């Protein structure tokens, strides 16, 4: 495995983490993950912000590839794009394995010293 490949993954995943870094967007992701596809109205009812604010948050999430939408009547129905969450999970696992390896090296140094 090339050392550049994981770095490229991290760079591509940065927008996902930026989108998830906001509490309201994280709440929307959690709600969509539990409830499945939901209208903008349903999403607005489950967070303490205006419909306009929810729409802005959804646009950020859509640009990051976290959600997609389709019109159903006059409202948009939003759903999670699981592939992006899986990519975020892979990045977290990569970071975790690197930290675990660093901690193991430190432990070895301390025990030997």
What Rg do the C-alpha atoms of the chain give, in angstroms?
Answer: 19
Locate the DSSP E strands across 2-53: 38-39
d(CA 86, CA 52) in angstroms, rounded, equals 28
Of 83, 59, 23, nearest to 31 by C-alpha is: 23
- CA 45/CA 93 separation, integer angstroms: 34
- 113 residues of the chain, pLDDT tens digit each: 444 566 656 677 888 999 999 999 999 999 999 999 999 999 999 899 999 999 999 999 999 999 999 999 888 999 999 988 888 888 888 888 888 788 888 888 888 87
CATH assignment of the domain containing 9: 1.10.10.10
Alpha-carbon span 83 to 97, nearest angstrom? 21
What is the structure's pLDDT at 5? Answer: 63
pTM for the whole structure: 0.75
Q: Return the pLDDT at 6.
A: 60
Number of domains in the chain: 1
Q: Which residue segment(s) compose the domain that 15 sits in?
A: 4-112
CB atoms near residue 13 (< 10 Å): 20
Residue 89: predicted pLDDT: 84
* Per-residue model confidence (pLDDT) at position 49: 94
Q: What is the enclosing helix (H) or strand (E) of 59? A: helix 51-63
């Amino acid at each position: 495995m090339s050392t550049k490949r994981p770095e490229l993954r991290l760079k591509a995943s940065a927008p996902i983490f930026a989108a998830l870094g906001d509490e309201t967007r994280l709440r929307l992701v959690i709600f969509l993950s539990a409830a499945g596809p939901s209208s903008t109205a349903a999403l607005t009812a489950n967070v303490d912000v205006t419909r306009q604010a929810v729409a802005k948050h959804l646009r950020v999430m859509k640009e990051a590839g976290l959600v997609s939408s389709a019109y159903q009547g006059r409202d948009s129905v939003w759903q999670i794009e699981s592939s992006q969450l899986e990519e975020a999970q892979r990045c977290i696992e990569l970071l975790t394995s690197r930290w675990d390896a660093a901690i193991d090296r430190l432990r070895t140094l301390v025990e030997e010293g």
